[in-house]
Amino acid sequence: MQRGSILLWGTLGAVALGLLAAGPGHAAGFSIFEQGTKAMGMAGAFTAQADDGSALFHNAGGLAFVTKREMQVGATYIRGIKADLKGANPFPGEGYTAEEKDLSEVPPHAYYVQPINDVWKFGFGVETPFGLTTEWENPDTFAGRFISTKAALRAIDLNPTIGWQITPTFGLGFGAIARFSDVDLNRDVGANNPFTQSRVNVAKLNLKAGFDQGYGWNVGLLHKYNNSFSWGLAYRSKVKVDFEGDARLTQILTGNPVFDALVRGGQPFDRNLPVKATIEFPDEASLGLAFALSPNLLLETDFNWTGWSSFDEPPIDFTNNDLPDTKIIARWKDVYNYRAGLKWTTSPSTEWRFGYVFDESPQPEEAVNPQLPDADRNGLTIGWGHKGAINTDIALMYLDFKERSRHKSYPDDRANDFFGTYKTRALLLGVTVGF
């Protein structure tokens, strides 16, 4: 059974790579930009306005212009309405189809801001800038089950920030970021059955890590040049999280007692296998330009850059030498996205908002797989806001991913060959209330 053992160990090593690739297919890479509903109504084109609590995320320079204490709480309901795969040759083959389970996630956000004096302001934000889940229907028969049946990542930021109003029209903001993140991965492990000359499921593997933490910072400036034009710059740093977790392997009986006994012999079933890994979450920069077209109409355009090249070849370390140390081959690239938003003020207390975003995927074709089938996407938004005793903001986004096909692999990553075309659509509903 030595050859069978080697096959099982090799597959388990590939499974561990999922620790670093766990993430959703419903935002750029695995980021979530919707951290405030007012901004969401304008497709995130908010860097040159940043005039509510979500300035702590979008542009800390906006905090400098706070004049009273405010608190906001909200969430974004993310619902997948289409996520499927059409297979291609050689594997899983033309004619094969599969679907993801309907995505249903609700990442929250919360902000507290207050002036310290006329010049200095304080804010504290709770944000969820990365995360979500991919999970496939019929996991026991899904052709990609040896790559992933479920991958989930959560990240929560605590973001204390100071705003400095240097002049009546120019503000700076500086913040610290404490990020807490965890990962959960499920997939099957296969081995070649010498009695049937076929590849069969011999184990399920669950890998969990977190909540582990990393630290970073953010900075922003906002310049209200005059009543017709403002501009802003914002930057959020990389955050490296060193994960410690465990992989647990549970045997699946094949019905052949001789083969099952051979598989079980010498394998680390039913015990924790300690593992360490690192994710370096990317840095982000934004430039926003806002133009007052009339007293009631404001147009903003934003240009955002994300440094996804930090997600290149992250290492995997099995601390008890259960497996040789290895790495994931991702080789993502830095990308841009482009946003435009229109704000229409219909009364002193009511606004309508509209937006469009084109968001580039950082994922090369060779890295597209069932764990994270990412793609360029177009998004359309509409939002509504009302100011009163309780301020209310509501926004809806339709996100349409381009079809994304994989027909090639990295020469040094042929073990994860899995070809086909993915198509995804999603709806996002944001609600924020302020006091």
- Assess whether pLDDT exceeds 70 at residue 104: yes
Number of independent structural domains in the chain: 1
- Which tokens sit at 168? 């009546």
Measure the CA angle with vertex 21, ends 82 and 239; round to 5°.
115
Classify each residue of 94-116 as buried b or exposed e, where b means 16 or more C-beta atoms within 10 Å of its C-beta: eebebebbebebebebebbbebe
Distance CA 124, CA 136 (A): 37
CATH code where residue 65 lies:
2.40.160.60
Distance CA 318, CA 9 (A): 13
Confidence bin at 324 (pLDDT 50/70/90): low
Least confident of 17-31, 80-94, 132-146: 17-31
pLDDT in tens, 19-47: 444 444 344 678 999 999 999 999 999 99
Q: What percent of the chain has pLDDT over 70?
A: 93
Instruction: Name residue, tokens 């017709």.
Output: 228
Distance CA 302, CA 50 (A): 12
Note if the pTM is more than 0.85: yes
Distance CA 173, CA 163 (A): 4
Confidence bin at 322 (pLDDT 50/70/90): low
Q: What percent of the chain has pLDDT over 90?
A: 72
Residue 26 belongs to domain spanning = 2-434
- Assess whether pLDDT exceeds 60 at residue 18: no
Confidence bin at 79 (pLDDT 50/70/90): very high
The angle, 0 to 180 degrees and rounded to 10, between the axes of the packed helices 257-264 and 2-16 is 60
Distance CA 381, CA 342 (A): 10
Q: What is the mean pLDDT of the chain?
A: 90
Q: For 95-121, what is the mean pLDDT?
A: 95
Indicate the residue type of 171. Answer: G
Q: For 123-133, what is the mean pLDDT?
A: 92
Q: For 166-194, what is the mean pLDDT?
A: 94
Q: For 88-108, what is the mean pLDDT?
A: 94
Residues present in the chain in total:
435
pLDDT in tens, 386-397: 999 999 999 999
Least confident of 153-157, 188-192, 295-299, 357-361: 188-192
Which residues lie across from 365 on neighbouring strands?
A: none
Quote the pLDDT of residue 323: 61
Quote the pLDDT of residue 415: 72
Confidence bin at 131 (pLDDT 50/70/90): confident
Which residues lie across from 302 on neighbouring strands?
A: 288, 339
Distance CA 357, CA 207 (A): 35
- Assess whether pLDDT exceeds 80 at residue 17: no
pLDDT in tens, 229-286: 999 999 999 999 999 999 888 999 999 999 999 999 878 899 898 988 888 999 999 9
- Assess whether pLDDT exceeds 90 at residue 313: no
- Assess whether pLDDT exceeds 60 at residue 63: yes
- Which tokens sit at 360? 């580039």
Q: For 402-431, what is the mean pLDDT?
A: 92
Indicate the residue type of 110. Answer: A
pLDDT in tens, 331-348: 899 999 999 999 999 999
Distance CA 424, CA 373 (A): 9
Confidence bin at 413 (pLDDT 50/70/90): confident
Quote the pLDDT of residue 312: 83
Query: Which three-class secondary structure string do you get for the chain?
Result: CHHHHHHHHHHHHHHHCHHHHCCCCCCCCCECCCCCHHHHHCCCCCCCCCCCCCHHHHCHHHHHHCCCCEEEEEEEEEEEEEEEEEECCCCCCCCCEEEECCCEECCEEEEEEEECCCCEEEEEEEEEEEEEEEEECCCCCCCCCCCCCEEEEEEEEEEEEEEEEEECCEEEEEEEEEEEEEEEEEEEEEEEECCCCEEEEEEEEEEEEEEEEEEEEEEEEEEEEECCEEEEEEEECCEEEEEEEEEEEEECCCCCHHHHHHHHCCCCECCEEEEEEEEEECCEEEEEEEEEEECCEEEEEEEEEECHHHCCCCEEECCCCCCCCEECCCCCCCEEEEEEEEEEEEECCEEEEEEEEEECCCCCHHHCECCECCCCEEEEEEEEEECCCCEEEEEEEEEEECCEEECCCCCCCHHHCCCEEEEEEEEEEEEEEEC
Quote the pLDDT of residue 372: 83
